[in-house]
Structure 1
Amino acid sequence: MVDVTISEAADRLRRGEVVAIPTETVYGLAADATDASAVAKIFAAKGRPDFNPLICHVADPAQLDALVMLDDRARRLVAAFWPGALTLVLPRRPDCPVAPAVSAGLPSLALRMPAHPLARELLARVDRPVAAPSANRSGHVSPTTAQHVRDSLGTGIAVLDGGPCSVGLESTVVGLTGETATLLRPGGIAAEDIEAVLGETLVQPTDQTLQSPGMLLKHYAPRLPVRLNAAAAQGKEGLLSFGKPLPGFATVFPLSERGDLAEAAARLYAGLHALDHVAGLDGIAVMPIPQQGLGLAINDRLVRAARGR
């Protein structure tokens, strides 16, 4: 894998190449969202199905007016949470320059302004929207370090190394294409915080259309099978612990010894990667995670990971 500087990364993106880039959520496999050929390289490199839409990343909220139609709800959420781990799905403008493949042919577009300083500087240099799903093979565990990218995609992808991701879970995705705001994917910002700004309750999607990334039932999966809500050891499993570890496990990766959900979220994918590479294990057991705040997003990823293998 080729490590690149931020100048080299920007040049590659402007030339229609793909580059793995850091964000505060996970590493993304980036390409110029206005270049259909470049976007196709993302799908090819990840082995990603073309019906699964991508998220566009922008350097400044001022870029939104040329891409999508905004309402008051969107403007309030942008003001409250951007830059940050919130993606908004909004109606595309008829003259939107983003390649249709980014939206998987849908009349909407998913948009985010990341908070990671390297990502923000890179986006400003490129000066166009950048599509960037997670920089890993489709359906596998998302990468939160440059090494995770190398392990998943091999040596053919250029990487801008920005260190470990601070949030460690993908962004929360909120759909604003209808009259009600929809929670399409829980993530790095708690739904309760978004609801407080909107003044309304987020609803669940009412159909099976993939309106955003992260909605596939089988996703985020390691090589080993994942067993949820473990109360005791079974076989040769490794343990993802939350709080005091369970006895009987020879290999333990602590998500948070003090039971902190933000810390657990930041360490989730690192833990799945780590246990998946321990020789002799036949599975990964996970202690119960509270279904509140960021726990909603953590449990969402774990349920999909357990289905995936």
Structure 2
Amino acid sequence: MTERLAPEALPRAAALLRDGALVAFPTETVYGLGADARNGRAVAAIFEAKGRPHFNPLILHLPEAAAAFAEVVPDARAEALAARFWPGPLTLVLPRRRTSRVDLLAGAGLDTLAVRVPGHPLALALLRAAGVPVAAPSANRSGGVSPTTAEHVLDGLSGRIAAVLDGGPCAVGVESTVLDLTGPGAVLLRPGGVPAAEIEAVIGPVGRTIPIEAAEATRTLRSPGMMLSHYAPALPVRLGATSLGPAEALLAFGTPIPGAALAWNLSESGDLAEAASRLFSGLRWLDAEGARRGAAGIAAMPVPAEGLGEAINDRLSRAAAPR
């Protein structure tokens, strides 16, 4: 059963997050579905609970700008925007710090992370009490309407998450604005709670990205809530492997194909949540170690196309696409 926690039960919500459980919580925009961003199993559980078909990058929620910038590398634009709009409904996409311990799955395997400091007192108190960066998409089933009350959260996720921290209705009611600052020109990836004109008043002109419909087709953007181009290994990836070719490294699932000189098992027990949490790390490790050892490619064993397996297979199919 999903616990419905009153604000005074905040320590309970924080403890659940630290223990790897999923907790929905209010922000000034919509309710977020939070997990410890450093815990790959907890992050994978977000996708499972939402029924999210792809591993989109998730927005990291932090209690202050200093905590956010400990995970990403800010520039002068980011610092100016943070000073003006944080806490508040603005998400900044910035280069990931090498020292960040955020799980690769939370950033969808990219070299960037999306960060924000929410403008809701209960959310900020929860983040301070939890003491971990919290990955949090909207707390609804994938494709559903974003929730602005605890009741909305329970309507879609009751029994699928540990708890919802009830902070009443959300004030803004639409998601945060997402701004990409990874290039020389700032790009608006998603309109939201902070109008573009207010951003431009701080940093100057902001470019607009392609429509979401085109983003779905091309998967070329870095925005949470859109489909994107993910990290792809340099070594070619072969799907559905039941045998090994010459000098192939093995991405295994369940009982591995025998004879691999280099292997990474997503889950020996066939656990899809474990496999999801180990996918990006495994691809990166096989790519780097395979290149060092002279591997010709990566053979990926079949993964069931059910539950999180759908997202795993989606990611693998893009890793194996011609390039």
Distance between the aligned counterparts of 1:125 and 1:10, measured in 2? 6
Q: In structure 2, what residue type is equivalent to 1:3?
A: R
Q: In structure 2, what residue type is equivalent to 1:35?
A: N
* 1:95 aligned partner: 99
| Deviation of 1:68 (Å) | 0.8
Distance between the aligned counterparts of 1:86 and 1:105, measured in 2? 22
Q: In structure 2, what residue type is equivalent to 1:36?
A: G
* Secondary structure in structure 2 of the residue aligned to 1:173: strand
Matched, 1:162 2:167: yes
Distance between the aligned counterparts of 2:221 and 2:108, measured in 1? 9
* 1:79 aligned partner: 83
Gaps of 5+ in 1: 218-309
Distance between the aligned counterparts of 2:219 and 2:35, measured in 1? 27
Q: In structure 2, what residue type is equivalent to 1:186?
A: P
Is the 8 Å Cα contact of residues 191 and 202 (structure 1) preserved in structure 2?
no
Structure 1 consecutive aligned stretches of length 4 or more whose deviation exceeds 6 Å: none
* 1:25 aligned partner: 29
* 2:4 aligned partner: 3
Per-residue CA deviation, residues 45-100 of structure 1 (Å, 9 max, x unaligned), is 00113431100000111113321111000000000000000000000012211000
> Cα distance 1:46–1:109, how it changes in 2: closer, same or farther (>3 A)?
same
Per-residue CA deviation, residues 152-183 of structure 1 (Å, 9 max, x unaligned), is 11234211000000000000000001111010
Number of aligned positions between the proteins: 217
Q: Percent same amino acid among aligned pairs? A: 59
> Cα distance 1:127–1:82, how it changes in 2: closer, same or farther (>3 A)?
same
Distance between the aligned counterparts of 1:131 and 1:64, measured in 2? 12
* 1:135 aligned partner: 139
- Tell me the TM-score normalised to structure 1 length: 0.68
* Secondary structure in structure 2 of the residue aligned to 1:89: strand
| Deviation of 1:216 (Å) | 5.1
Is the 8 Å Cα contact of residues 27 and 144 (structure 1) preserved in structure 2?
yes
Q: In structure 2, what residue type is equivalent to 1:211?
A: R
* Secondary structure in structure 2 of the residue aligned to 1:169: coil
Higher radius of gyration, 1 or 2 = 2
- Tell me the TM-score normalised to structure 2 length: 0.65
Gaps of 5+ in 2: 229-323
* 1:177 aligned partner: 182
Map residues 94-133 of structure 1 onto 2, 5 A cutoff: 94-133=98-137
* 1:200 aligned partner: 205
* 1:253 aligned partner: none
